[in-house]
Amino acid sequence: MILHKIQTSPAQDNALSTCLRYIDKQDTLLLSGNAVNALLLTCWQEKLSHITVLVLEEDIIARGLDERLNQYASISYEQFVQETLRHEKVISW
């Protein structure tokens, strides 16, 4: 079980699309920084619909997206640390 961490927007680079080629059903995807913006686009919502997606709460609030993205599980930095311990590996893309 792997925690995949993406922090760049799909408009900036291909980290998210590359990650999706390798992610397994039991893995978790954590979006932070500008990567949370991907969830605003229908195409990415559809691509991520079958994956467990977590978003870093601070990054959503900083961008004023807490109400628009409230259907996604948001986590604090403390919970992020717990997720890193719960998963066998962490990959930052």
Q: What are phi and psi of 65, to 5 degrees?
A: -110, 10
- The tokens describing 27, both together, are 């893995």
Domain residues for the domain of 28 are 2-92
Q: Where residue 35 sits, what CATH number does that domain have?
A: 3.40.1260.10
**What is the pTM (predicted TM-score) of this model?**
0.92
What's the pLDDT score for residue 14? Answer: 95
Predicted local confidence at residue 41, as pLDDT: 94
Alpha-carbon distance 54 to 37, whole Å? Answer: 13
Number of domains in the chain: 1
Span 18-74, pLDDT tens digits: 999 999 999 999 999 999 999 999 999 999 999 999 999 999 999 999 999 999 999
**Given its phi and psi angles, is residue 52 left (phi above 0), alpha (psi -120 to 50 degrees) or beta?**
beta
